[in-house]
Structure 1
Amino acid sequence: MTDSKNDAGWPGDELGLPPEGPGSLAPFGLRVLALFIDWGLASLISLAWFAYSPWATLGAFVVMHVLLVGLLGVTVGKRLVRIQVVRGNSAPGPLWALVRVLLLMLVLPTLVISSDGRGAHDRIAGTVQLRM
C-alpha cells in the first residue's frame, strides 16, 4: 500500500469500493455486454411493433433506461450480467437516468474512463455501476 494519492489500488478504490465481489465496480466488459443485450431487446421491440424503425429502436432503448435504471437501478441486460446502477445508495431516479442515457448515446463520454474507473456519463450523472 502506498501513501500517494495518484496510485489507485484497483478500479473503484477512489470511491471506497471493494476490489472484487458484490459492491465492487463492474468491469468494462460486463457493462458492454449489458449494453448489447439492452440494444438487442430494444431492436426486438422495434422489429415486432415498429417495422424495425431506427428511431423506434432508439426510443425503446431510452425509455427502457429511463424507467428501469431510474426506478430499479437495472435494465434487463444489467440484471442478466448482475450489475446495477446506483446514485448514492439507491437507484438514480428518472431524471438522472435520462441524463445518463443521453450522454451514453453520444458514445464518447462512455469511452472516457477516469482514474476512478467510471465513464464520463456516469461521473456527470453521479452514478456508478456495481456488481450485484
Structure 2
Amino acid sequence: MARITGTWLSGPQAALPKNADGREQAYRGENLGFPQDGPGSLVGSGRRLGALMIDWVMAVGVASLITGDFFDGQTSTITLIVWFIVGVLTVTLFNFTPGQFVMGLQVARIEGPIRVGFVRALARQALLVFVIPATITDIDGRGMQDRATGTLLVRSR
C-alpha cells in the first residue's frame, strides 16, 4: 500500500524521473541520451515560440497574397491551411520548418538519426493545430505532440 500512495504523498518531487543510479536528471534530455549543450540538445520553449512566430508570419504573408487583402475574413483560415501544409511538407522533407531553420532547430526522432517521415509529420502538425498539446510539456520540455509521435525538437547548430 505504501508504494501506491508514496508518490503523491511524498510531493511532486517524488514523481520526477530517476536515472539508472537513482538520482534525478540534471538537465533536459539526460534520461533520453541527449547532450546538455550544443547541437543535438533539447530546445527550450523560447526558441520553439520564436520558430512558431516566424512560421506563422510567413503563413500570414502567403495567405494575404492569396486573398489579396491582409485583414480579409478568409485570411485566417487560409493562414492556418498554409501553415499546416508547409509544416507537414518541410518536416517530412527536411526535418524542420522555415522558422525552425532560422532559429537553428530540427525535429528529430527519439530512436536515432532517422527522417521523421510523412505520417509522423502529419500527426505532429495536426496536434499542433489545437495549440493545447504544445503547451503541456514533460520534464524534458517535450510537448504532447512530440510524445505522441516519438519526436523531439533539438538544436541543429
Decide: shared fold, TM above 0.5: yes
Shift of 1:27: 1.6
Q: Contact between 1:73 and 1:90, CA under 8 Å: does it hold in 2? A: no
Distance 1:23 1:95 in 2: 23
Distance 1:50 1:63 in 2: 17
Q: How does 1:15-34 map to 2 (within 5 A)?
A: 15-34=32-51
Structure 1 unaligned spans of 5+: none
Q: Which has the larger radius of gyration?
A: 2
Return the TM-score normalized by structure 1.
0.92
Which 4+ runs in 1 deviate beyond 4 A? none
Q: How does 1:26-65 map to 2 (within 5 A)?
A: 26-51=43-68, 52=70, 53-65=75-87
Q: Contact between 1:46 and 1:60, CA under 8 Å: does it hold in 2? A: yes
Does 1:100 pair with 2:117? no
Q: Contact between 2:51 and 2:99, CA under 8 Å: does it hold in 1? A: yes
Corresponding position of 1:67: 89
User: Could you report, residue by residue, the CA deviation over 1:70-110 in whole angstroms, capped at 9, with x for unpaired residues?
Assistant: 11101110000000001231331121111001111111111
Q: Contact between 1:70 and 1:94, CA under 8 Å: does it hold in 2? A: yes
Return the TM-score normalized by structure 2.
0.78
Q: Secondary structure at the match of 1:14?
A: coil
- Identity across aligned pairs (percent)? 36
Corresponding position of 1:8: 25
Corresponding position of 1:112: 136
Q: Secondary structure at the match of 1:118?
A: coil
Shift of 1:117: 2.2
Shift of 1:55: 1.4
Larger RCO, structures 1/2 (Cα 8 Å, 6+ apart):
1
Does 1:79 pair with 2:96? no
User: Could you report, residue by residue, the CA deviation over 1:36-93 in whole angstroms, capped at 9, with x for unpaired residues?
Assistant: 0000000000001124521110010000111001111011100000000012313311
Distance 1:110 1:122 in 2: 8
Equivalent position amino acid for 1:69 in 2: V
Q: Contact between 1:66 and 1:95, CA under 8 Å: does it hold in 2? A: no
Structure 2 unaligned spans of 5+: 1-18
Cα-Cα RMSD: 1.4
